[in-house]
Structure 1
Amino acid sequence: MGFIIDFLQNFWELSIMIGLYVLIGLIFVGIIHLYISEDWIKKHLGEDNKYSALKGALYGIPLPLCSCGVIPLATSLRQKGASKKAVTSFYITTPMTGVDSIIATYGVFGLPMAIVRVVSSFISGVIAGSFVKESFDDIVKEEKKSCCSSSCCSASKPQKESQFKKAYDYAMFEVFSDLAKPMFYGLILATLFMMLIPNNGVEFLNDNLFITYILVFLVALPLYVCSISAIPIALSMLAIGISPGVAFIFLAAAPATNIITAGIIKKIFGKDVLSVYLISIITVTVSFALMIDFVFPMEWFSSFSQSTEHETESIIDISGAIIFLIVMFYFVVKQWSKSFNNK
């Protein structure tokens, strides 16, 4: 009974830390959707030139698509003639960031971590795209069935609707409905991580950072986490005293290096591109992790521990957590019910 109470308490505390910022991020997701359409992205990435990798990385950063939700858009870009360089860099930065996860990262970890996350994503995308060899003999047809859920494949509705409703429907029923289950599982894993890792285990991890870096990639490989559902797990790492660099590796790399994403990259582009894709992400992410742990001022990444020492949370944080949990559980239960009825 004590374990359950401790679990629920830690689960609630994590929800308070991230809930409000997830909701704020969703507001910006809706706003961006009003002004940046898939057709607009296709138009600007449909050219092959020396700036292809740069443009692909830049356009992918703000889009709130998970590593699976980006599949139909990326394959459509490729099918319409976008260069392999642009699509590869786009495929990296899109799942690694997103306006929702950037805002949530800033709110939870502070500005330095948010900046490092965006910069590392951008550099990974540009490097990978630049080293990809161009060819157009591997263009594949878009496979809608690869999506995580039906919402990421749904066609845009032709009927007229208010701008507010259009933004709200997209943020809630297309973006957050896809994020709800990974976010829920991420919160569970983060809570268990905080409760089950012993103090001597934390000391070992911090004393052997290079081994820990490798372990983080190995742990991330079988998991499906999106850029925003990685936040509670990285948060739990910092909460128990693991180095910020280790938490950053999971935060930045896990959304783009899981088995699902790697398999799709291999299927669409082949082994050569997959190798460039993974090497770029791992090299850049580890480089920034080393800078976080050994070069950058530690106070840049210590504000988290200071902010968690307060005894009471504001009514805004509590209200945000309640709304966040209600909406998350609504979509999770809805997806579970749909899966159960289909069996």
Structure 2
Amino acid sequence: MEYFKNLWELFVDMSFYMIIGLIFTGILHVFVNKNLILKHVGNKTTASVVKASVIGVPLPLCSCGVVPTAIQLGKSGASKGAVVSFLTSTPQTGIDSIIATYGLMGPLFAVYRAIAAFLSGIFSGIMTNILCKNEEATPEKLKPSGCSHAKAKTKSCGCSHAKAETVNLSFIEKLKSVFSYGFGKFLDEIAEHFVIGLLVAALISTLLPEQWFSNFTNPILNMIMMLIIGTPMYICSTASIPIALTLIAKGISPGAAFVFLFAGPVTNIASVTILYKALGKKALIIYLASVAVCAVTFGLILDFIINTFHYQGIAVVGQIHAHEHPGYMVVLAILFGILVLRSLIKKYTTKKIDNTCCSH
């Protein structure tokens, strides 16, 4: 019973902020011109690396959509550095995860997470451009796979979230599209990972004693452990929040929890093979090494800031609440639960179409 109690409390805590985040996700999807993004990022200058990182921080791309979108950037003329910058900054955050992080882990964690995503994207991109000069970002023979958010004409074995052609929509139609995308297609993509994240977080909360991680006193070893756990996992930036929240409640340092928040969404085993073909061995090694170095570095800096200024906000917010939730949060949690359940049912009942690897 304690497990389900912890699960419910986590779900209620997250639902309110997830709803807000999904609305903003829909707004970005509908009102941001994707061709304009390609125009700014699709060149081989250092400025394109910075722009790719800036664009990637708030962009609401699901975990499966990051890789094919990055490949499309390469096909549009972007340097390997810009592609790697986009790959590094985009999965770490999104407007939905930033809002959820703010609500559950406090303003410092939310702002720091966005800044770390931005700076790490620039670092990894510049390092790639320096060490991989005059190399094409994407071989023409490569066809992106997964869930493509690029133009519909791009071949993929997934689903495209772009329009095949530009259509002028009224404001009301755009408003409908905001909700249909945020609570439809995008939620369909993250629902499974969101639920898995909650289930794992509730399990950790139930099985591990309070302050269990305080027995491991070496902060760097803790961060390396989080890096090893997070790197091969397939988890989105939002689904990683309840796990990190629970780890902090069990005594791990905020910096070590941040390493998990950083590395978990950025890398996973499934994407590595695709990136190997798209970027080549050298660029892939630079990408993975940059992720590891940046994750641990930003984790150490976060712990230093918190310890130096005796910041208590994360420790206070980062607890699994034992008190009763306001009525409106319970109502919103029930509504959001219905939407998540609908997405899961749609995912597992929709028949697979030939040559597709994801269906919504």
User: What TM-score do the two structures reach when normalised by structure 2?
Assistant: 0.86
CA distance in 1, matches of 2:185, 2:143: 18
CA distance in 1, matches of 2:157, 2:163: 12
1:324 aligned residue: 336
Q: What is residue 274 of structure 1 aligned with on the other side?
A: 284
- Paired with 2:239 and 2:19, the residues of 1 have a C-alpha distance of 13
Cα contact 1:53–1:130 (8 A) shared by 2:
yes
CA distance in 2, matches of 1:145, 1:24: 30
TM-superposition CA deviations, 1:320-341 (whole Å, max 9, x none): 2222221112111221223699
Match of 1:166 among 152, 177, 182: 177
Instruction: State the distance in 2 between where 1:61 and 1:200 align.
Output: 32
Q: CA deviation at 1:202?
A: 2.2
Q: How many Å apart are 1:36 and its aligned residue?
A: 1.1
Deviation at 1:241, TM superposition (A): 2.7
8 Å CA contact retained: 2:201, 2:246 = yes
Q: Which residue of 1 aligns with 2:357?
A: none
Letter in 2 for 1:285: A
Relative to 1, partners in 2 of residues 1:107 and 1:136: Cα closer, same or farther, differing over 3 Å?
Answer: same
In structure 2, the CA distance between the partners of 1:236 and 1:81, relative to structure 1 (3 Å rule), is same
Q: Are 1:236 and 2:232 an aligned pair?
A: no
Return the offset for 1:142: 6.0
The root-mean-square deviation of aligned C-alpha atoms, in Å, is 2.4
Letter in 2 for 1:224: Y
For 2:77, the equivalent position in structure 1 comes to 81
Q: Work out which of the residue numbers 49, 57, 71 in structure 2 matches 1:61.
A: 57
Q: CA deviation at 1:7?
A: 1.8
Which aligned pairs between 1:143-292 and structure 2 lie closer than 5 A?
Answer: 143-147=143-147, 152-156=159-163, 162-199=173-210, 201-205=212-216, 207-292=217-302
State how far apart, in whole Å, the 2-side matches of 1:264 and 1:150 are: 13
What is the match of residue 8 of structure 2? 12
Counterpart residue type for residue 240 of structure 1:
K
How far residue 59 of structure 1 moved from its aligned partner, in angstroms, is 0.9
2:244/2:257 contact within 8 Å kept = yes
Quick check: 1:68–1:260 contact (8 Å CA) kept in 2?
A: no
Residues 255 and 302, structure 2, Cα contact 8 Å, conserved in 1: yes
Counterparts of 1:141 and 1:153, CA distance in 2: 20
Q: Which residue of 1 is the match for residue 122 of structure 2?
A: 126
Q: Which amino acid aligns with 1:332?
A: L
Identity %: 35
The answer to whether the 8 A contact 1:67-1:261 is kept is no
Q: Which runs of 5+ in 2 are unaligned?
A: 149-155, 355-360
- Are the counterparts in 2 of residues 109 and 304 from structure 1 also a CA contact under 8 Å? yes
Q: Output the CA distance in 2 between the equivalents of 1:341 and 1:192.
A: 35
Segment of structure 1 superposing worse, 94-103 or 148-157: 148-157
Return the offset for 1:157.
6.3
- Secondary structure of the residue aligned to 2:17 is helix
TM-score (norm 1): 0.90
In 2: Cα distance, 1:142 partner to 1:72 partner: 10
* SS of 2:294 mapped into structure 1: helix
Q: CA deviation at 1:151?
A: 7.0
When residues 137 and 85 of structure 1 are mapped into structure 2, their CA distance, relative to the original with a 3 A threshold, is closer
Q: Decide whether the 8 Å contact of 2:79 with 2:137 is kept in 1.
A: no
8 Å CA contact retained: 1:244, 1:293: yes
Q: Which amino acid aligns with 1:179?
A: I
Paired residue for 2:24, among 9, 23, 28? 28
Greater mean deviation of Cα atoms: 161-170 or 101-110 = 161-170
Report which of the two has the higher share of helix: 1
Task: Supply the distance in 2 between the matched residues of 1:40 and 1:176 (Cα, whole angstroms).
Answer: 25
| 1:80-122: CA deviation from partner (whole Å, max 9, x where unpaired) | 2122211110111111111111111111111100111011111
- Partners of 1:74 and 1:324 in 2: how far apart? 31
- Could you tell me how far apart the structure 2 residues matched to 1:196 and 1:44 are? 49
Q: Secondary structure at the match of 2:248?
A: helix
Deviation at 1:250, TM superposition (A): 1.1
Aligned to 1:70: 66
Distance 2:137 2:4 in 1: 53
Query: What secondary structure sits across from 2:350 in the alignment?
Result: helix
CA deviations 1:155-178 (Å, max 9, x no partner) are 426675601111112212221110
1:21-70, CA deviations, whole angstroms, 9 ceiling, x for partnerless residues?
01100111111122213222111111222312111100111111133211
